[in-house]
Structure 1
Amino acid sequence: MRKDDAPFVPIFDGKSLQGWHAVPRLPVARAPGQPGPDVSSENYLRAAQTSGRWTVEDSAIVGRQDPPGSGYGGYLLSDGVYGDFELVFEARPDWPADTGILVRTTALGSQGFQILLDHRRSGNIGGMYGNGIGGFHGISFTLDAERDEHGRPSGLRLEDPSETIEPMTPDKPALLDYAATGEQFLAAWKWDEWNEFRIRVEGASPRIAVHINGVKISEMDTEKLRHPLYDAAAARELLGPKGHIAFEVHDNDPGMGDERWGPNSACRWRNIRIREL
Structure 2
Amino acid sequence: MSIQWLRVRVPSASFRNGLGILPGPFFVFGRTPCILSPVNRTRERRSGPLWLLAACLLLPLTACVQTPKSLFNGHDLEGWSKVGGDATFDVDDDCIVGIHGPGPNTFLRTDDVYSDFDLSLEFRWDEPGNSGIQFRSRQRPDDGIVEGYQCELDPSERSWTCGLYHEGSRGWLVPLEDLPESQAARRLDGWNRIRIRAEGPRIRTWLNGVPCVDLLDSDGERSGFVALQVHSGGQGRMRWRNIQLTELMD
Which bin holds the TM-score, normalised by the shorter protein? Answer: 0.5 to 0.7
Which residue in 2 is equivalent to 1:17?
77
Amino acid at match of 2:180: G
Which residue in 2 is equivalent to 1:2?
18
> Are the structure 2 counterparts of residues 102 and 54 from structure 1 closer, same or farther at C-alpha, using a change threshold of 3 Å?
same
- SS at 2:154's partner residue? strand
Determine the C-alpha separation between the residues in 2 that align with 1:7 and 1:64.
32
Q: Alpha-carbon deviations, 1:136-171, whole Å to 9, x = none?
A: 342122xxxxxxxxxxxxxxxxxxxxxxxxxxxxxx
1:63 paired with 2:63, answer no
Determine the C-alpha separation between the residues in 1 that align with 2:176 and 2:223.
28
1:191 to 178, 188, 191: 188
Task: Please tell me the root mean square deviation across aligned C-alpha atoms, in Å.
Answer: 2.2
1:250 paired with 2:245, answer no
1:88-167 correspondence to structure 2 within 5 Å: 88-107=120-139, 108=144, 110-141=146-177
How much does 1:91 deviate?
0.6
> Are the structure 2 counterparts of residues 101 and 140 from structure 1 closer, same or farther at C-alpha, using a change threshold of 3 Å?
same
How much does 1:89 deviate?
0.4
Which residue in 1 is equivalent to 2:116?
84
Relative contact order higher in (CA < 8 Å, ≥ 6 apart): 1
Identity, in percent, stands at 33
Which residue in 2 is equivalent to 1:46?
none
In structure 1, stretches of 5+ residues that fail to align are: 26-49, 142-172, 174-180, 224-231, 253-260
Amino acid at match of 2:79: G
| Structure number with larger C-alpha Rg | 2
Which residue in 1 is equivalent to 2:3?
none
How much does 1:184 deviate?
4.5
> Are the structure 2 counterparts of residues 251 and 245 from structure 1 closer, same or farther at C-alpha, using a change threshold of 3 Å?
same
> Are the structure 2 counterparts of residues 109 and 11 from structure 1 closer, same or farther at C-alpha, using a change threshold of 3 Å?
farther
- SS at 1:81's partner residue? coil
Deviating 4+ runs (over 4 angstroms)? none
Which residue in 1 is equivalent to 2:215?
220
- Count of residue pairs the alignment pairs up: 184
Q: TM-score, normalised by structure 1?
A: 0.61
Q: TM-score, normalised by structure 2?
A: 0.67
How much does 1:192 deviate?
1.4
Determine the C-alpha separation between the residues in 1 that align with 2:189 and 2:159.
16
Alpha-carbon contact 1:8-1:275 (below 8 Å) kept:
yes
Determine the C-alpha separation between the residues in 1 that align with 2:163 and 2:153.
8
Which residue in 1 is equivalent to 2:238?
267
Q: Alpha-carbon deviations, 1:27-77, whole Å to 9, x = none?
A: xxxxxxxxxxxxxxxxxxxxxxx2x200001100001123xxx36441000
Alpha-carbon contact 2:89-2:99 (below 8 Å) kept:
yes
Alpha-carbon contact 1:88-1:272 (below 8 Å) kept:
yes
> Are the structure 2 counterparts of residues 131 and 96 from structure 1 closer, same or farther at C-alpha, using a change threshold of 3 Å?
same
How much does 1:131 deviate?
1.5
